[in-house]
Amino acid sequence: MGDEPAKKNDWAISFLGRLCLIGWVCAILYEAFDFLKPVRQLCLLFGPWACAITIVNGLFLFVSRRKVLILVLVLLAIPPGCLFGIVLKNIAIEKKWIEFGDSKADSKVDSQPATVAEPAEETVPRKFTR
């Protein structure tokens, strides 16, 4: 009776819970502090990684341990993960690291020669002064 060890918390649940909390805090701070660039950069540094580690490790641990709380934490990490995915995709498009959109529509527009009307000749010559 007295020889039974005290029940310890599962390390995986606390690990995933903290990572999920980091992801949510970073997502909220990223959206809230639009005027502070260093805070936004730190949130972009830590937030996506926290969400990705939570989702990948959570799925692995859920399969191996079969605890529902792990699945709940994985599901809680998906919304900030999606937010950071959209933000990072928009940054990549803005910096032209990737192309986004219908490439066939762009090639059709570029493949047709543009007809440009020639400018009329000026009747009065311009004088350049220094």
What six digits make up the tokens of 42? 């730190």
pLDDT at 114 over 60: no
66-107 residue pLDDT tens? 899 999 999 999 999 999 999 999 999 998 888 877 555 444
pLDDT at 10 over 90: no
State the pLDDT at residue 97. 87
CA gap 109, 45 in Å, rounded: 38
CA gap 43, 95 in Å, rounded: 19
CB-based contacts of 61, cutoff 8 Å, min separation 6:
12, 16, 67, 70
Instruction: Look over the chain and give the mean of its residue pLDDT values, rounded to a whole number.
Output: 83
